[in-house]
Structure 1
Amino acid sequence: MRNISDLIEQHLKQLIQGSSSGAIEIQRSDLADKFSCVPSQINYVISTRFTLEKGYFVESKRGGGGYIRIQRVDLPSLEAVHHHVHQTVGDQIDQTTAEGLIYQLEEARFLTLREANLLKAAVSRDVLQLKLPLRDEVRAKLLKAMLVALLAK
């Protein structure tokens, strides 16, 4: 059985997918009521699962008429993806950012689930048992090389 965070994430993604603009505006309290949870649970889901690394731009306005706006940032072409990869990875990359990039590429269907899982396994700190900053440098080189090879299809 999936947990409440998974259900909220799935619901928000369905709303975004159904939106013609690729963006939604929600009231945090309304969503909390819908899922019978506290508003901080909504904040948690949005801050951990709708990040820029995962392909989403989040804007919020607090107060009486406040809202949370979530916009999907699409990667339009393979050339743009290559540029995005080189810009995001750079000379070093931490595990969280690497996994976010992999997730974004999988969501945009540039990677299969299997390819994404292999990439995540290869760049894991459990596999790259090196001291920082060397670990982030090796991770960046590995990730760039593997993505260039995979995205050349």
Structure 2
Amino acid sequence: MENKNMTDIIEAYLKKVLKQKEQVEIRRSEIAERFDCVPSQINYVINTRFTIQKGYLVESKRGGGGYIRIIKVQVLDEVDMLNTMIEIIGNNITERDAKSVVQRLYDDKIITKREAKLMIVAMDKSLYTGDRVTDNRVRANLLRSMLANLSYEEPNKRKAD
């Protein structure tokens, strides 16, 4: 058996459940008990592996009857997806989140492998100033511009790998 960490195991479990249903409702304490880990590890998995950039919407309700609901986002077409990603990016984006956006677009066959590689290179922190605030703004502007340009093309003219 391959050596996976607890975060990967919990992520795989939740994704398996999401393949069977469009959404899953969990109680953090129940999942923590199931995997014999602390509840904060469940938060970590949800906050890092189930983001909107990766195609998930997370809702939560706190308190005794509280839950965490994870919903796999379904986008109608390529232009809708590109526009949604442009909105999500906003005025700044980290390198990690930018790469997640690009990966999602590639996974959903909205961009080609070549386009994804070029976009990933353009998001790399080594190309920027080192000032996090400025770099996140520049990265967001660049990525939004790329996605806007792709949305102007006819979707069927580009063919994903």
TM-score by length of 1: 0.77
Match of 2:64 in 1: 64
- Going from structure 1 to structure 2, the CA distance change for 1:132 and 1:9 (only over 3 Å counts) comes to closer
Show the 5 A alignment for 1:34-45.
Answer: 34-45=34-45
Deviation at 1:132, TM superposition (A): 5.7
Show the 5 A alignment for 1:1-150.
Answer: 1-19=3-21, 22-89=22-89, 93-111=93-111, 116=116, 118-129=118-129, 131=131, 134-144=134-144, 146-147=146-147, 148-149=149-150
Deviation at 1:48, TM superposition (A): 1.5
> What is the rounded CA distance, in whole Å, between the counterparts of 2:86 and 2:118 in structure 1?
19
Matched residues, number? 151
Does 127-136 or 40-49 show the bigger shift?
127-136
| Larger helix share, 1 or 2 | 2
> What is the rounded CA distance, in whole Å, between the counterparts of 1:8 and 1:113 in structure 2?
28
Does 29-38 or 90-99 show the bigger shift?
90-99
TM-score by length of 2: 0.73
- Going from structure 1 to structure 2, the CA distance change for 1:132 and 1:90 (only over 3 Å counts) comes to same
Does 60-69 or 42-51 show the bigger shift?
60-69
Contact 1:74–1:108 (CA under 8 A) maintained in structure 2? no
| Structure 2: runs of 5 or more not aligned | none
Seq. identity, %: 40
* Superposed CA offset, 1:96-125 (max 9, x none): 442332233244343467754553332021
> What is the rounded CA distance, in whole Å, between the counterparts of 2:116 and 2:132 in structure 1?
24
Task: State the AA in 2 paired with 1:55.
Answer: G
Does 7-16 or 59-68 show the bigger shift?
59-68
| Aligned Cα root-mean-square deviation (Å) | 2.9
Task: State the AA in 2 paired with 1:122.
Answer: A
Contact 1:8–1:35 (CA under 8 A) maintained in structure 2? yes
Contact 2:53–2:85 (CA under 8 A) maintained in structure 1? no
